[in-house]
Structure 1
Amino acid sequence: MKNNGKIDNTGKIENKMRSAGKLKRELPLIIMLIPSVILVLIYSYGSMVGTVIAFQKFNIAKGLFGSEWIGLVNFRNLFSMPNIWPIIRNTVVIALGKMIGGILVPVIFALMLNEVSKGKLKKAFQTMVYLPNFLSWVILASIFTDILSPSTGIVNHFLGFLGVEPIFFLGSTTWFPITMIITDIWKVFGFGSIIYLAALTGIDQNLYEASQIDGAGRIKQTIYVTLPGILSTIILMSVLSMGNILNGGFDQIYNMYNASVYETGDILDTFVFRLGIENAQYALSTAANLFKSGVSLVFVTASYGLAYKFAGYRIF
């Protein structure tokens, strides 16, 4: 019994020494993390106090804690506005288009790039499609405005060469949402393809050899080996993107839209910006943003549950 007690005490001492050593090694990383944690607490959690404005008849002179409490009146006023439902529809349509294209295009590109045998050429293509991810929409908006111009844009010059009438991509209610979806996919698909290329490297090469013995060509190998091998990654990325169902992309649309395309191009983020910043209707804009955050929270929670069920993904 005494020997067992000594062994137990020795084990506890060793565990404490390991913990102390681990803490000492990781202390510089913890110190480096502190400024980021402070910023998150201030800007992500501290700012949540302002959501109380959604339930007030907010008055700047009276301040956050002196304004009159009116409950859900702002939400009733918000949903009685004639343009709120078209705005929600626009947000969902644009966001869904970006989500679907943001999954299909990277998968297809990763499959095509995986067939390239020359390493340098493969890296060159990967770098080229990844670069737009680093450009802001302020820069890209100017570029696309020039490229898609109905009078001087290169796209319409090419369409004119084919005998097609010029298209006002950024001024047409029909073409504007399509343009937003396509340009967003062009910008981000290079980043998404990296995830799928990484998944492709994890497929057992013996499966390809076995399929070749069975007489499968490249197309059948892709269908029966490659796609099933990355299916869990595709499901995971699809499910996790559900949280962005009401994120149409403020940076992109704000820099590229105009009053003539509000009918199909105005989304919740731009609507909130105009209400709060341009029209100083702080209570209504807070209510709209809180509604969007609530819906996103539901979808994020559901998406993580589905990700665990279908792909075995867990945060903790």
Structure 2
Amino acid sequence: MRDYYRPLVQSGPARPSGALPLAGGPYWFSHVARHRRDAPVEVLPAMAVPDDWHAALTAPRPDVAGLGMDRVRIMGILNVTPDSFSDGGRHDAPDAAVAHAEAMRTAGADMIDIGGESTRPGSAEVPAEEERARTEPVIARLRAAGAPPISIDTRKRAVAEPAADAGAALVNDVSGLTFDPALATFCAERDLPVCIMHTQGGPETMQQDPHYENVLLDVYDWLAERIAAARDAGIPHARIVVDPGIGFGKTIAHNLALLEGVSLFHGLGAPILVGASRKRFIGTITDAPEAGRRMPGSVAVALAVAARGVQILRVHDVAETRAALSMWHAIDLGDRYGT
């Protein structure tokens, strides 16, 4: 019987004796929720956590693409595609893409995530050469203009390699390094950090009756296995980011369970990225069928997971997310943010 320990994350000055720091950031926890597959969840004092979990939960996270992980970071989404679910076709021309990236930087994006292949439910694979042609020139122009760190959102080495040559500093793979085994080898060779995302099935089939025994623990175990595989391929643990894959092979109930329990993934000893922005489940819950109307719900999700210690938020609405975080930090973290 395996035990899993989810920190019950808190912040603010009223930190009790015995509370443990969370991942080197401003948050802490005095208690954990112990999960078991065959027993109810039980709340325990933080000091009851075993040594291996204690180390994983409390150790400061290494920088990612030059960005410190001691506070939440905003990753702005730049889809240079004609068919992405939210903004497909709006930024697929290079000039429009560069202008939007600059607008996101001005609005407070710490990183720009560039993708040339839509992975929305039901989408088909894009040939690598076409994906490369969409992304590489935009990355080169952005880096020449002094853009913030750039992430390449791809499953393929044939796309990641020219993107890295053009200046991309992180590989964001929605397949968790399962689609193209050569991608892990490339990231190891180039010392590139990689974001490993969970998905159940590919974009063509992932929303066809997804099923889990326990979605929170199943996703945790899958990510742990993929971290081990990445390390075996030569990628150091310090260069790995994890993403539970909101909306990728999940029902609304699955998504909500992952968001509520997202602090469990701190136990993997890596920064956590969450990308829930404008996704369909937000539209269903908030009665916003059009993706462009899902900003308020998306910001609510961003604040909820930031409060659980998530280090990277992948969002469309950078200015609104930054403003909400600034206000929340001023209230909840006080002097740490200069208030």
Q: Which structure's residues are more often strand, by fraction? A: 2
Structure number with greater CO (CA < 8 Å, separation at least 6) is 1
After TM superposition, the score normalised by the length of structure 2 is 0.26
Q: Which of 1 and 2 has greater Rg?
A: 1
Q: Which structure's residues are more often helix, by fraction? A: 1
After TM superposition, the score normalised by the length of structure 1 is 0.27
